[in-house]
Amino acid sequence: MENEEGMNHLWIQLLHDEKAQSQKSEIQIQLPKGISRSNNLNGFVENERGHIVVDDHDQDVIIEIFTQDAIQCGEMTIVVSLLTPETTVSSEISIQVVEEEEMDRVEIDEQVVERIKELSNAAPPYDAGTDIVSIRPRILEKRDNEFSYLEKKYRVDY
């Protein structure tokens, strides 16, 4: 992930025990300092604690993570926790934050790109009667550089 004005996606896949009783769970995401996130792209409810509420039939959650200001480069850890009434399961995800010049060495997971496209195509039409949760808008500056082809190829417009 690029250290300044970088963007990536976090894909959380949920595996449920078929024998367990149906219940609502919450997903808590703890991000390193300087990395922010948008609301989940699946449209699931997010409660006042910022946890994503999921049911047993939900299979995955995708979240856009980003940096707005320059942050320190290096390996960072995102902690994702699944909170149920009985237990908490946590997983640590390492991400590498790099300078813009090093982005050519980053591998792009085509499976994640395809899943994001599926979600954007399946988005329900806007209903003016529903409440919209707003987040601080990001200011994006259009620039041409040696990696512009990646943005053109993988950008998903909502």
Mean pLDDT, consecutive 10-residue segments, the chain of 158 residues?
87 75 85 92 91 84 90 93 89 90 80 81 52 49 63 68
Are the CB atoms for 147 and 104 separated by under 8 Å?
Answer: yes
Helix boundaries (H) for the chain: 110-121, 148-154
Buried b / exposed e along 9-48 (16+ C-beta atoms within 10 A): bbebeeeeeeeeeeeebbbebebbeebebebbbbeeeeee
- Residue 123 falls in which region: left (phi positive, over 0), alpha (psi -120 to 50) or beta: beta
Amino acid at 129: G
pLDDT, residue 110, reads 83
pLDDT, residue 103, reads 81
The structure tokens listed for 34 are: 């300087």
pLDDT, residue 84, reads 87
Q: What is the DSSP letter of 60?
A: E
Are the CB atoms for 45 and 53 separated by under 8 Å?
Answer: yes
In which residue are the tokens 């409440």 written? Answer: 131
pLDDT, residue 34, reads 92
Measured distance CA(64)–CA(13) in Å, rounded: 15
pLDDT, residue 17, reads 66
Measured distance CA(154)–CA(149) in Å, rounded: 9
In which residue are the tokens 């529903």 written? Answer: 130
Total residue count of the chain as it appears in this document: 158
pLDDT, residue 21, reads 64
